[in-house]
Structures are given as C-alpha cells and as structure tokens.
C-alpha cells in the first residue's frame, strides 16, 4: 500500500519538476519517507557499435536507506559497476527513474547536489588521482564546489586523518602502496562529505593487507560516522560485512535482502560462491555439528568457541 | 624510479622556497632579460666600441648577475652542487659551441695570435667564446634554481595566475593549467606502465636492444600500441573520477592554497631591480661608471 502511494507521489513529483513546484512536495516526500537512493525500473544500455549494444542494467529496482551498509555482488559483467555510475549521475538511465535524496539524477541543474551526496571510489587508485601532492588531490573535490580556502583546509585535514594518511599529506602519491593510494582516494571522496560512499570494486587491485586497511576504514565510517556505504564487489568475504546484500546477474537483480542472502544457493548459481565462513559452517553442519547462522570469520570463530 | 612529476624540486624550508611562485616566475624572466642586456662582442665592435671597454662592461655585468645568483642560492639553502648539476646537461653543447666560436670567430679581429687556413685564434674570439659560455651557464642555472625551489604544482598555479588576464580574450587559461598538471601527474604512471609492457613483451622473447635504429623503432610498436590504448582507458576513468568529484571547469572553483605576495617577494623585487639597474649602468655606461673603471684599469696596466 505504502509503496503504491510512494509511486504515485513520485510520478507527481516528476511532473512537478517540470512545473517547478517542488516546494509543496518536499515535506510530502519526507512524510512518506522515501529511501535515500531509489532505483525504479531502471535500464541502461551501452552502445558498443552502431548495431551492437549491451544491456548492462535491466529493469532494476532497489532502495538504499541512510546508514545502510549495502553490498552489491555479482560476477564480472553483471552490470554492478554501471549501477555505481548510475548512482551519482555519471550515467543517466535510458528508462526508469533514479532519485538520490529526492533529486532525480537526470536533473542537470541539481547534478552537483547528487554528486555531493554520493561519492564514488573507483577500482584503480592511479586513475583517480588528479594532483601530484596528496593534500592537493584530496582538496580537488571541495575546490570544485567552491568552498573558502580555510574550510577546504579543514575538510582535507579531517579526511586525511580519518583514513590515517595525515602524516603523508605533503608527499607524492606515487611512492605509496596500493592500499595507501586507495585510502587517499577515499579521503578525496570524504572531503566532499558525501552521505553515501560507493566503493566500486575498490579493493580488487589491492593485496590482502591493503584490502583489510580499506575494509576497516569503510566499516568505521559506517559505524561511527553513520555514513551509508554501498560496496560493489565480487569478494564474498567483503560482502559478508554488509547488512544488506543485493545480488546481480546479467543486469538483473536476482536476490536482495538481509544477511541471510549470504547463504542463499542463488550465490552458487551466479558463480559467486559463499563467504568462507558460510562455506566452513556448511561443511561443519554436514559433518553433524549444530552450527548456527554465521557469515563472517569472527562470527564463525565465536560460534565454534560456543559449541566447544 | 625517480619521481619525475616532482621535477627536480629540492624540499627544504627556505625564504626562497616560501616565495610566491608568480613572483619567482617574473623574477626569472627579468633575470633572463638581464643576461641578454649585454650585447655580443660582434655587435659591440660593429657599433664602434673598443674591446677593452667591452671586457670591462661584460665582466662587471656578468659578475653582478653571478653574485646575485650566488646570494639567491645561499638563501635558498639548496646545495650549490645541485644547481651546478643542472648545467651538466648542456655542458658539452656549451663547450663545443665555445670551441667553434673560438676557432672560427667571424667578426673583425685586431688581436690575432695564430692562423691556420680558415682557423684563426684571436683575443676577440676568446672573449666572445667566454661571454657566450658564461651567458649560457647562467641562463640554465637561474631557471634551475626556480624548479629546485618550486614544486610543479606551484609552478602551474603560478602560470595560471599570471596568464589569467588572457581570459579576457577567451583563452581557456584554467583548462590549460589543469591539462598541464594532469600531464605532470601522469608521467610517472606512464613510465611505470611502459616498464610493465616492455617486461611483458620481453617475457615473450621480444628484443628491444638488437639491430639497427629501424629495427629498434619497429620493436617499440608492440609497446606503444598497448600503451596508447591503456592511456585512453585511463583518461576515461580519470574523467569519471573527476566528474564524480564535482569537477565543472573553472566556474565557481576555489583553491585551497591561496597565493599571497609577502614581504619576501617585495625584498626580492628590490634586490633584483637593483641588480637590473646595475647591469644597465654597466652596459649603457650611465654616470660614466664603466668608462671610469676601464680608464682606471688601463692606468693600472
């Protein structure tokens, strides 16, 4: 029922943008409590040649609330990276509607509002750096938004401190390890102070140490700073840290829900496999042990300790 | 691998490092102009001057400029060797040119020491060779000190700021500056990538060191093609990253580092103006200073 009302109001909202009559609608949107990020029946097609195209995202509907820790999983080519780019208006859907905090991402005039709210950290840290000095690179976002120099300085210092890279601020990014570089990239996004951070396979080029560094920071941001995190990955151990999991295959959302998705057989069907803890728990169960629902290694350890 | 993008920047804290990049750029331009205020011997003699006078004038002018450069180096706390190292790249060029100038001096020579066919050794030849060598060395060292004391980022920012009046005639100064800084930033990445591709090709038995120039050039094709395609991909991704960090060109953009002229720049301006004036005085013989000194030198001899 509520969903239907939401949909109707959204249609009205779309029309009212044309009428420039947003004032009445903002309170209404809050009243029915729209999700922070909403995908409604979104499709996106890449044109490779004039006659060849790839449907990267097909009729995708999902919603992400503020404060969520979401994992979007799927194997290569499942369209999950396209979703990241759709979330902050780098790409706009050919059909369907995406709203971020009530703003349609196709609204060119408010594009910066969308991008201020949703920051994306990409896969390759080398391809995200703009400047040759770390603090200059972190300052890039706030500089673009036209903040006064003192505020940019504050934001840069805060962002670098929250990724533990403050002492490197005057150095060059090229001597850093992959994990450190990616932390700088995260700081660059943090300095914009977005409400949602999207990590588009941001750990896939890192070694295990670098991966852990990034995951710790992301976890801390979500739990302490209450930042919404959307983690796009094909590593199930990373996905196990999330509270909400969406599984994509071939451009479609095949499963979405709480952590129980992590032990859903659909994962195996999508070629993803289970998180290591789930796998071990399954083996233990087949061996006759009464293991409860566990998803992360820490949980598994605790569960086994409880049983012993 | 040496970090190319930092240029030859020598990180330390000194009054010269702290100066405004724009001021430093302007001063370097003034410095170069200063070096060329001293005419060549050919022109000077052609204008009816005397060799002795020329030696005094150019000696005094270059002396004062060298003194200024030395003072600047001392204040910058950059080791003298670092500055001299910058000359290394041009030292052979300068020596060869100087020798050619010495042997084939084309102007009118009154003090000839020896002649073999077309080769003549004359005092004029020696003097003009020395003047040219000194001029070239000073010409290299001044800008070298600039790049030793200023980061490439500061330099591009300085250039952007200095060129900003050109915005009035619709020249996209900001875009040029950001292109420059991204190019600087991508140099080390590209070098790394070239290394990687070369090694990958070597692992598949490609040869880069054998054969003549053409063969070597041909062997580079399997390196250059993947390098080019990967740069395009890189550029695409960088554009996405910049876009998602709200890049929208120069419009409404502010900077974290605000360039401010300070008392240091004022002091430096006074000093460089004094040196400039001194060179002018020597070259154009204001107040008869150069004449007085050369007369004095003659009486001494």
Instruction: Dig out the tokens for A166 from the structure.
Output: 């403050």
**How far apart are the CA of B82 and the nearest CA of chain A, in angstroms?**
21
Measured CA angle at A119 (ends A114, A122), to 5 deg:
135
Out of A130, A135, A174, closest to residue B5 by CB: A174
Q: How many domains does chain A have?
A: 1
What pLDDT is stored for residue B240 in this prediction? 93
Q: If chain B, 301 residues long, is cut into consecutive pieces of 10 residues, what is the mean pLDDT of each piece?
A: 60 88 93 91 81 86 93 91 85 91 80 82 88 92 90 85 89 87 84 89 80 81 90 92 89 84 91 91 81 78 68
H helices then E strands: how many in chain B? 12, 2
Q: How far is the C-alpha of B290 from the C-alpha of B288, rounded, in Å?
A: 6
pLDDT tens by residue, A204-247 = 888 888 899 899 999 999 999 899 999 999 888 889 889 999 99
Using the Cβ of A152 and the Cβ atoms of chain B, whether some distance falls under 8 Å is answered with: yes
Q: Indicate which of A117, A120, A127, A147 best probes the interface with B, i.e. most B CBs within 10 Å of its own CB.
A: A127
Residue of B nearest to A141 (CA): B245
Q: Tell how strand A118-121 and strand A196-200 pair up.
A: parallel
Break chain B into its structural domains and give their ranges: 8-150+262-300, 173-244
Q: Which residues contact B9 (CB under 8 A, 6 or more apart)?
A: B147, B148, B149, B150, B151, B152
Q: How far is the C-alpha of A238 from the C-alpha of A215, rounded, in Å?
A: 8
Dihedral in degrees, nearest 10, Cα atoms A142, A143, A149, A154: 20
Chain B positions touching A192 (Cβ under 8 A) are 245-246
Strand, helix or coil for residue A35: coil
What pLDDT is stored for residue A22 in this prediction? 54
Strand, helix or coil for residue B112: strand
Using the Cβ of B291 and the Cβ atoms of chain A, whether some distance falls under 8 Å is answered with: no
Using the Cβ of B74 and the Cβ atoms of chain A, whether some distance falls under 8 Å is answered with: no
Q: How many CB atoms lie within 10 A of CB A134?
A: 26
Which CATH number characterizes residue A194's domain?
3.40.50.300
Residue of A64, A63, A114, A123 whose CA lies nearest to A89: A114
Residues 180-239 of B with CB under 8 A from A: 181-182, 184-185, 188-189, 234, 237-238
pLDDT tens by residue, A5-54 = 777 777 766 766 665 655 555 555 555 567 889 999 999 998 877 778 88
pLDDT tens by residue, A71-91 = 999 888 888 889 999 998 999
**How far apart are the CA of B182 and the nearest CA of chain A, in angstroms?**
6
Model ipTM value: 0.83
Cβ contact A130–B256 (<8 Å): no
φ/ψ region of A300 (left if φ > 0, alpha if ψ in -120 to 50, else beta) reads alpha
* CB contacts < 8 A (A, B): 101
Residue of A nearest to B231 (CA): A127
Using the Cβ of A145 and the Cβ atoms of chain B, whether some distance falls under 8 Å is answered with: yes
Chain-centroid distance, C-alpha A52: 29
H helices then E strands: how many in chain A? 12, 10
Q: Indicate which of A83, A149, A174 best probes the interface with B, i.e. most B CBs within 10 Å of its own CB.
A: A174
Determine contact, residues A271/A254, Cβ cutoff 8 Å: no
Chain B positions touching A139 (Cβ under 8 A) are 255-256
pLDDT beyond 90 at A70: yes
φ/ψ region of B117 (left if φ > 0, alpha if ψ in -120 to 50, else beta) reads left
Residue of A nearest to B241 (CA): A128
A219: containing domain: 35-274
pLDDT tens by residue, B202-244 = 898 877 777 788 887 888 888 899 999 999 999 999 999 999 9
What pLDDT is stored for residue B286 in this prediction? 79
Residue of B166, B175, B155, B138 whose CA lies nearest to B279: B138
Residue of B nearest to A87 (CA): B244
Measured CA angle at A73 (ends A70, A79), to 5 deg:
110
Cβ contact A131–B6 (<8 Å): no
Q: How far is the C-alpha of B219 from the C-alpha of B228, rounded, in Å?
A: 15
pLDDT beyond 50 at A201: yes
pLDDT tens by residue, A246-302 = 999 988 999 888 888 888 888 888 888 888 888 899 899 898 888 888 888 888 898
- Whether residue A298 lies inside any domain: the answer is no
Cα within 13 Å of Cα(B273), Cβ side = 7
């Amino acid at each position: 029922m509520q969903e239907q009302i939401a949909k109707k109001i959204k249609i009205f909202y779309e029309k009212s943008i044309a009428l420039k009559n947003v004032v009445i609608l903002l309170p209404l949107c809050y009243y029915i409590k729209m999700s922070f990020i909403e995908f409604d029946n979104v499709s996106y097609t890449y044109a490779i040649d004039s006659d060849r195209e790839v449907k990267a995202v097909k009729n995708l509907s999902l919603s992400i609330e503020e404060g969520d820790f979401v994992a979007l999983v799927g194997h290569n080519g499942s369209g999950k990276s396209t979703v990241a780019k759709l979330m902050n208006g780098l790409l706009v859907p050919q059909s369907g509607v995406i709203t971020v905090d009530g703003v349609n991402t196709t609204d060119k005039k408010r594009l910066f509002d969308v991008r201020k709210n949703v920051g994306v950290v990409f896969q390759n840290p080398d391809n995200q750096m703009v400047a040759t000095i770390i603090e200059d690179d972190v300052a890039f976002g706030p500089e673009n938004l036209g903040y006064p120099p003192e505020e940019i300085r504050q934001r840069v210092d805060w962002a670098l401190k929250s990724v533990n890279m403050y002492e490197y601020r005057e150095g060059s990014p090229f001597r850093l390890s992959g994990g450190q570089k990616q932390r700088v990239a995260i700081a660059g996004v943090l300095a914009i102070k977005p409400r949602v951070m999207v990590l588009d396979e941001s750990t896939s080029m890192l070694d295990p140490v670098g991966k852990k560094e990034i995951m710790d920071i992301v976890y801390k941001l979500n739990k302490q700073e209450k930042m919404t995190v959307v983690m796009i990955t094909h590593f199930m151990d990373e996905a196990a840290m999330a509270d909400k999991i969406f599984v994509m295959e071939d451009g479609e959302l095949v499963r979405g829900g709480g952590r129980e998705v992590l032990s859903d057989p659909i994962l195996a069907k999508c070629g993803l496999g289970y998180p290591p803890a789930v796998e071990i728990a399954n083996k233990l169960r087949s061996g006759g042990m009464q293991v409860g629902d566990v998803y992360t290694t820490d949980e598994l350890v605790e569960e086994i300790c409880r049983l012993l | 691998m040496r970090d190319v993008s930092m240029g030859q920047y020598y990180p330390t804290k000194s009054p010269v490092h702290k100066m405004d990049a724009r001021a430093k750029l302007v001063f370097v331009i003034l410095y170069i102009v200063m070096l060329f205020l001293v005419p060549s011997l050919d022109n000077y003699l052609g204008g009816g001057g005397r060799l002795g006078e020329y030696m005094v004038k150019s000696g005094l002018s270059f002396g004062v400029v060298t003194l200024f450069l030395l003072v600047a180096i001392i204040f910058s706390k950059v080791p003298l060797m670092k500055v001299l190292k910058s000359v290394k790249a041009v030292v052979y060029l300068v020596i060869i040119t100087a020798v050619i100038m010495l042997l084939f001096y084309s102007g009118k020579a009154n003090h000839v020491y020896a002649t073999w066919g077309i080769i003549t050794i004359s005092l004029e030849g020696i003097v003009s060779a020395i003047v040219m060598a000194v001029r070239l060395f000073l010409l290299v060292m001044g800008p070298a000190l600039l790049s030793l004391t200023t980061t490439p980022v500061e330099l591009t920012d300085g250039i952007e700021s200095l060129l900003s009046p050109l915005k009035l005639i619709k020249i996209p100064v900001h875009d040029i500056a950001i292109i420059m800084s991204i190019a600087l930033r991508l140099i080390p990445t590209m070098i790394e990538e070239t290394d990687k591709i070369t090694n990958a090709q070597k692992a598949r038995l490609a040869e880069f060191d054998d054969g003549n120039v053409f063969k070597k050039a041909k062997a580079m094709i399997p390196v250059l093609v993947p390098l080019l395609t990967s740069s395009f991909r890189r550029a695409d991704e960088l554009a996405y990253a910049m876009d998602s960090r709200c890049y929208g060109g120069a419009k409404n953009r502010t900077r974290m580092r605000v360039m401010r002229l300070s008392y240091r720049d004022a002091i430096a301006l006074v000093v460089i103006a004094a040196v400039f004036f001194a060179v002018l005085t020597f070259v154009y013989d204001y107040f008869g200073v150069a004449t007085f000194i050369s007369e004095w030198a003659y009486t001494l001899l």
